[in-house]
Amino acid sequence: MTDDARREPTSEELALWCARCLTAKRAAEEKRKAAETRKDAAAAERFAADARRHAAEAERPFNALYDKWFGPTRGFVWGEIKDARPFIKQGFDEICCDVWFRISKSIHGFRAESKFFTWVCAIATLSIQEHIQTNHWSQTKQAPFDAEGGQPILDEIQDHREPPAATQAMNSEVASDLDAAIRTLDEKQRTAFVLRFKKRLTWREITEITGEHKTSLQRWVTEATERLRPFLRKHDPESRQE
């Protein structure tokens, strides 16, 4: 037996294997839909069986990746949020699960242009950001219980280097409006916009995370920007002075 036959596949090779299987599954599903449209039941069943087979083949490399990298993913997430507010840290397990759910949905687009765990960390960063945005207004509800069983207001456990109340209120209003505006975008526009402008990722990094073509991503970002233009005008200092 050769050395190549004995060695374990790298994470990048496993991810590419999984991506090929899932790409083949998608192709089979498209063929099934086409067969159903032309009312060819036999062909539709054959393509459906192919799709199930490819999905089953993808499980082996995906499970190997999960077993190897779920622990390090938890370590990365905890390192990013360990000094955050309690309402963020309490979502630790939820974030970790969300990361691997996102990976399962986007691994078909992995192209090995970066190390697999680098790609995982980029997805984890997005999950953390969205968790913070989603739970921003439930801080008091999610604050830890004190020794007497009460839930302190988080302002009571913050340090005293806060900006003035008026500045906090303005920043809070802008953040609230932005989050609300971003939620009105459709899923593809929202993901592309957040990765490009809030996470400041490159087009190549976004392409690898989402599995979408650069031209599509650029179009969705442009569409998102147009839809967010009323928000941008509202919070433009020069616009407010007019």
Are the C-beta atoms of residues 128 and 81 closer than 8 Å to each other? yes
CA 176 vs CA 46, 112, 142: distances in Å: 50, 37, 18
Q: Where are the beta strands (DSSP E) in 156-205?
A: none
Q: What is the mean pLDDT of the chain?
A: 77
Highest mean pLDDT range out of 21-25, 94-98, 180-184, 233-237? 21-25
Task: Look at residue 69 and tell me if it is in a domain.
Answer: no
Range(s) of the domain holding residue 238: 161-242
Task: Look at residue 221 and tell me if it is in a domain.
Answer: yes
What is the per-residue pLDDT for 135?
65
Least Cα distance to 158 among 221, 84, 218, 220 occurs for 84
Task: Look at residue 39 and tell me if it is in a domain.
Answer: no
The encoded tokens of residue 46 equal: 């054959």
Region 117-121 average pLDDT: 91
Task: Look at residue 186 and tell me if it is in a domain.
Answer: yes
What's the CA gap between 59 and 70, in Å, rounded?
15
The encoded tokens of residue 28 equal: 């089979």
Burial pattern 157-186, b for ≥16 Cβ within 10 A else e, equals: eeeeeeeeeeeeeeeeeeeeebeebbeebe
Q: What is the percent of the chain where pLDDT is above 90?
A: 31
Task: Look at residue 41 and tell me if it is in a domain.
Answer: no
Residue 44 Rama label (left phi>0; alpha psi -120 to 50; beta): alpha
Query: Mind giving me the DSSP string for 97-143?
Result: HHHHHHHHHHGGG--SSS-HHHHHHHHHHHHHHHHHHHHGGGHHHHS
Are the C-beta atoms of residues 25 and 58 closer than 8 Å to each other? yes
pTM: 0.57
In the predicted structure, residue 132 carries a pLDDT above the cut 80 = no
CA 165 vs CA 155, 168, 169, 172, 237: distances in Å: 12, 5, 6, 10, 19
Task: Look at residue 124 and tell me if it is in a domain.
Answer: no
The encoded tokens of residue 21 equal: 């299987």
What is the per-residue pLDDT for 163?
42
Region 8-17 average pLDDT: 94
More confident residue, 162 or 109: 109
* Helix/strand number for the chain, H first, E second: 12, 0
Task: Look at residue 187 and tell me if it is in a domain.
Answer: yes
- The CATH number assigned to the domain holding 194 equals 1.10.10.10
More confident residue, 144 or 85: 85
Amino acid at 96: C
In the predicted structure, residue 66 carries a pLDDT above the cut 50 = yes
Task: Look at residue 169 and tell me if it is in a domain.
Answer: yes
In the predicted structure, residue 35 carries a pLDDT above the cut 90 = yes
Least Cα distance to 44 among 52, 58, 22, 108 occurs for 52
Q: Give the least confident one: 3-12, 35-44, 64-73, 101-110.
A: 3-12
Q: How many domains does the chain have?
A: 1
